[in-house]
Homo-oligomer: A and B are copies of this chain.
Amino acid sequence: MASLPGMPAPLASVIEHLSAMPGIGPKTAMRLAISMLEKNRHDVVSLAQSLHHLHEQMTFCERCGCFAEKHRCMICDAPSRNHALICVVEQAVDVLMLERMQTFRGNYHVLHGRLSPIDGMGVEQLRLKSLDARIEAGEVQELILATSATVDGEATAHFIARRYAAVDALKVSRIARGVPEGGELEYLDEYTLSRALDQRVTWD
């Protein structure tokens, strides 16, 4: 697609780069590139600059592992947040998703993966040493396991729960599973329904 006879090289180059991104096929890449040509020049240069700065200015928080601009992220640095409550997630993007709620006031710990023998992800690949250190420091009261509700995510949660089972005064919890908000029973799978029934909450 990028090597068509009528396709000038600068356009072909943008299309090629865009189609290397996940979920963007050659047709979408072409549509995006054309729309960028039709946009005013300033907007496109501005996007180019923001991409240029992305890797330069971004890093991961050395404490919790989520996205940061300095060696510590804004969440770990905030005195108003509860540093004794740690929510454990698989990826840095999960933190952003949870922060959308604007109600959780604890801290995070990003594992940067989940146990997945098929993908070659074992215990060694997970960011666990820094979590060990945080717990050994004795400041953590509760660990909320917010790994995904997949087989691998569940296995990871089980592993972490077992790892810290013997730690005194450390509560380990798992995020609730059940019918999602707005979910109609008609369209839900049987596993979700079965889980929602099993873990029913007493009405009071």
Chain A residues in the interface with B (C-beta under 8 A): 1, 4-11, 13-14, 16-18, 20-24, 28, 30-37, 41, 43-58, 66-69, 73-75, 92-93, 95-96, 99-100, 102
Find the B residue at minimum CB distance from A42: B55
A74-B6 in contact given A11-B58, A30-B93 (Cβ < 8 Å): yes
Query: Measured between alpha carbons, how far is A4 from B68 in the docked complex, in Å?
Result: 13
Q: In the complex, which residues of chain B have a beta carbon less than 8 angstroms from the beta carbon of A20?
A: 43
Query: Measured between alpha carbons, how far is A41 from B92 in the docked complex, in Å?
Result: 18
Q: In the complex, which residues of chain B have a beta carbon less than 8 angstroms from the beta carbon of A43?
A: 17, 20
Shortest Cβ gap from A173 to chain B (Å): 21
Q: In the complex, which residues of chain B have a beta carbon less than 8 angstroms from the beta carbon of A66?
A: 6
Shortest Cβ gap from A110 to chain B (Å): 11
**A6 contacts B95, CB within 8 Å?**
yes
Of B6, B49, B102, which one neighbours A48 at CB under 8 angstroms? B49
A50-B14 in contact given A21-B32, A23-B28, A37-B58 (Cβ < 8 Å): yes
Can you list 14 A-B pairs, Cβ within 8 angstroms, ordered by A? A4-B96, A4-B100, A5-B102, A6-B96, A9-B69, A10-B56, A14-B54, A17-B43, A23-B32, A24-B32, A30-B96, A36-B51, A47-B51, A51-B51
Find the B residue at minimum CB distance from A33: B54
